[in-house]
Amino acid sequence: MEKKIIWGISQDLQAHIRYEPNACKGYVLDLSLGCSHHCLYCLFSPLEMKVYKLHNPQYKGDTIPLKLDKFLMQKEFPPVIYMSYSSDPLGNETLIRSTVKALHKLLDNDVNVFFISKGIFNDEVLEEMKRKPHLMHIQIGLINADDERNRIIEPGAPSYNRRLENLQKLSAIEGLGNLAVRIDPLLPLIDDHDENIIRILNDVSSLGVKEAVFGYVILTKGMIERWKGIKNMRACAESLSEKTPTISDQELFSIPYDVKIKKFEHFREICEEYGVKMSCCGCKDERLKNTSFEWICHPFNRKRRKEFINEDSKFRIEYTHLK
């Protein structure tokens, strides 16, 4: 039997579909160990790399594309897959080629794909998505329009303008399942000011985007302490003072809940001015499930997940946590 690392990456570096309770209790597919964007706020990729290194001391922390041969031989699939949980499916040219192959297999099997990326959608990716656009549910990460901020905090990711180009290309695809901008994770005192939010909403609404997903950053104690040692990050880190209940039950911290609610109320008003629906992530703060905010961040989950409950399937699709 294949030996699995606890956090999900297999010892033989094969891409595989796995059930991930922390990903809205669904199925995920990663195509790499590590992520070439190297975002300072990322929780998942560094943890996977750390766990892998415990089993493989020679690992140097590089982004390693996972092998696809076992995945491409697979015959059964869950009805919906999140791509990707701890990496970006468009993180570099090698991963883009893997993504095209993976999408071809998934779409051939009529799998709905949640696709979240900061990477570049080239023509080959777009043509693959156009084969069955109704199965593609895409969110583009855009947190700040300041390229200097992005160079420091998301050093390996494409520029703001290049990500806007992605939205322009995607909005031109007829019959796309849904398309949203993901303004998440917001860094307090860096990203969550009106000028930035208005800039993003103005830019994306002009491209036909009708939904924005908001969320505040959540960090471990260790990450917060490291950020306090970085001059431009200190105030941000100090504001992450409240332990936050997340779907993972890990000890994670964000801004105080009452401040978060006031900010979200304000962001919702700005969104309404631009004809954009605001939603937020209830997995990152489960208290949001008791508010008036739309806390299910994937439109697909709101409308269709219950359709795919099949007690006889080996793929258990849960939805009670979404009520």
pLDDT in tens, 252-291: 999 999 999 999 999 999 999 999 999 999 999 999 999 9
Structural domain boundaries of the chain?
A: 18-322
**What's the CA gap between 238 and 246, in Å, rounded?**
20
Per the structure block, which two tokens stand in for 156?
């390996």
pLDDT at 3 over 90: no
pLDDT of residue 288: 96
Q: What is the pLDDT of residues 171-194, one digit of tens each?
A: 999 999 999 999 999 999 999 999
pLDDT of residue 30: 94
36's enclosing H/E stretch is none
pLDDT of residue 6: 46
Interval 301-313 mean pLDDT:
79
Whole-number percent of the chain with pLDDT over 70: 97
pLDDT of residue 8: 63
Q: Between residues 315 and 260, which one has the greater pLDDT?
A: 260
Q: Between residues 293 and 45, which one has the greater pLDDT?
A: 293
pLDDT of residue 7: 52
Return phi, psi of residue 81, to 5°: -135, 140
The answer to whether the predicted template modeling score (pTM) of the entire model surpasses 0.75 is: yes
pLDDT at 94 over 60: yes
Per the structure block, which two tokens stand in for 291?
């508010």
pLDDT of residue 4: 46
- Mean pLDDT for the chain overall: 92
pLDDT at 244 over 80: yes
Interval 6-21 mean pLDDT:
79
Lowest average pLDDT, out of 47-61, 144-158, 287-301, goes to 47-61
pLDDT of residue 5: 45
The CATH classification number of 18-322 equals: 3.20.20.70
pLDDT at 1 over 50: no
Give how far Cα 236 sits from Cα of 215, 255, 256, Å. 15, 9, 12
Which of 100, 81, 181 minimizes the C-alpha distance to 138? 181
| pLDDT interval class at 303 (50, 70, 90) | confident
**CA-CA-CA-CA torsion sign (22, 143, 107, 282):** positive
